[in-house]
């Protein structure tokens, strides 16, 4: 019994067939690398798991129960957190406000409640230092570097204790040091029994932290192998189509 099982997921946008019957499963504590060329359908698959899109057909099972997500919040309630490729941040809010967006910390007295800025700044600060990121909770996201924005998006997934974390190219715009931190974080997540799906174009990252690698080509899964049973050369061939399938 896996944590997540995708059975025959298909997604069409009008005439575009972004995904054709993709199966994928993942166990607790496992990290799967999802690779593929631009437009292969990686982000689309992630968004389906995160409840942004409904699949045209196919089934999503979580802990052996069939689920249907109508909104991102449904997926979040099911224990799935996602770092979007475009990060999905509000530029006009502070880092802390973005981390807590949609689930703000509040203070209560009787029927009254109000935003607990102090608690949010403190918790966000802790999350950033956990990520070894020099992001200050009170800074506006507008004035942040790519790496800091990434840290904000990743910190968001750490607020709850999700079962599955989806990361859509979390290392695309960040420094060497921060890439190492993100990879360390993924390892920590695995050690604590969380599952991670990592979408990346960076071969070394995938081979460093992932247990398995799945390759999508034009909406079809052409390989799903243990990292030990494959090599960067083979994966490259699978991505480009030089190798048909494995």
Ligand X SMILES: Nc1ncnc2c1ncn2[C@@H]1O[C@H](COP(=O)(O)OP(=O)(O)OP(=O)(O)O)[C@@H](O)[C@H]1O
Q: Note the residues at the interface with ligand X (CB under 6 A).
A: 13, 16, 18, 36, 38-44, 85
Q: Within its chain, how far is the Cα of 236 from the centroid?
A: 22
44 binds, among another protein, Mg ion, ligand X, none (CB under 5 to 8 A by kind): ligand X
Q: Which residues pair with 225 in a beta bridge?
A: 213
Compute the least distance from the CB of residue 168 to Mg ion, in Å.
6
At a CB cut-off of 8 Å and minimum separation 6, what does 208 contact? 183
- Residue 199, classed as helix, strand or coil, is strand
Binding residue (CB under 8 A) for another protein from 25, 56, 145, 220? 145
Q: Which does 13 bind (CB under 5 to 8 A by kind): ligand X, another protein, Mg ion, none?
A: ligand X
Please, are residues 75 and 69 in contact by the beta-carbon 8 Å criterion? yes
Distance CA 200, CA 203 (A): 8
- Residues in 182-201 at the binding interface with another protein, rule: CB under 8 A: 201
Q: Is 104 in the site for another protein (CB under 8 A)?
A: yes
Q: Which of 213, 204, 244, 242 shows the shortest CA–CA distance to 35?
A: 213
- In a 10 Å sphere around its CB, with 0-12 CB exposed, 13-18 middle and 19+ buried, how is residue 52 labelled? middle
Q: Which residues pair with 114 in a beta bridge?
A: 107
What is the nearest approach in angstroms of ligand X to the Cβ of residue 160?
A: 25
Cβ of residue 53: shortest distance to ligand X, in angstroms? Answer: 7
Residues 6+ apart with CB under 8 A from 65: none
Among 146, 160, 188, 240, binds another protein (CB under 8 A): 146
Per-residue binding string, another protein, 62-101, x by CB under 8 A, is ---------xxx--x-------xxx-xxxxxx---x---x
Site for Mg ion in 143-182 (CB under 5 A): none
Instruction: State both tokens at 187.
Output: 């390892």
By CB under 5 A, what part of segment 82-101 binds Mg ion?
Answer: 85
Residues in contact with another protein by the rule CB under 8 A: 38, 52, 71-73, 76, 84-86, 88-93, 97, 101-104, 106, 113-115, 134, 136, 138-139, 143-149, 169, 172-179, 201-203
């Amino acid at each position: 019994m896996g944590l997540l099982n995708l059975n025959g997921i298909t997604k069409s946008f009008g005439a575009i067939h972004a995904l054709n019957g993709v199966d994928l499963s993942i166990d607790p504590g496992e990290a799967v690398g999802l690779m593929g060329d631009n437009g292969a359908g990686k982000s689309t698959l992630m968004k389906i798991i995160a409840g942004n899109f409904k699949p045209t057909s196919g089934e999503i099972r979580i802990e052996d129960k069939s689920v249907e997500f109508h909104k991102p919040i449904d997926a979040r309630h099911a224990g799935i957190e996602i770092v979007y490729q475009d990060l999905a941040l509000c530029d006009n809010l502070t880092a802390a406000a973005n981390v807590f967006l949609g689930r703000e910390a509040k203070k209560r007295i009787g029927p009254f409640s109000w935003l607990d800025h102090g608690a949010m700044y403190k918790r966000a600060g802790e999350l950033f230092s956990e990520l070894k990121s020099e992001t200050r909770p009170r800074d506006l996201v507008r004035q942040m570097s790519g790496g800091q924005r990434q840290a904000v998006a990743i910190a968001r997934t750490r607020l709850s204790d999700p079962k599955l974390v989806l990361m859509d190219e979390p290392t695309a715009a960040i420094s060497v040091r921060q890439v190492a931190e993100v990879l360390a974080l993924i390892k920590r997540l695995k050690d604590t029994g969380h599952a991670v799906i990592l979408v990346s174009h960076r071969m070394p990252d995938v081979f460093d932290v992932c247990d398995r690698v799945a390759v999508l080509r034009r909406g079809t899964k052409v390989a799903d192998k243990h990292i030990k049973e494959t090599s960067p050369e083979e994966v490259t061939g699978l991505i480009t189509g030089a190798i048909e399938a494995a």
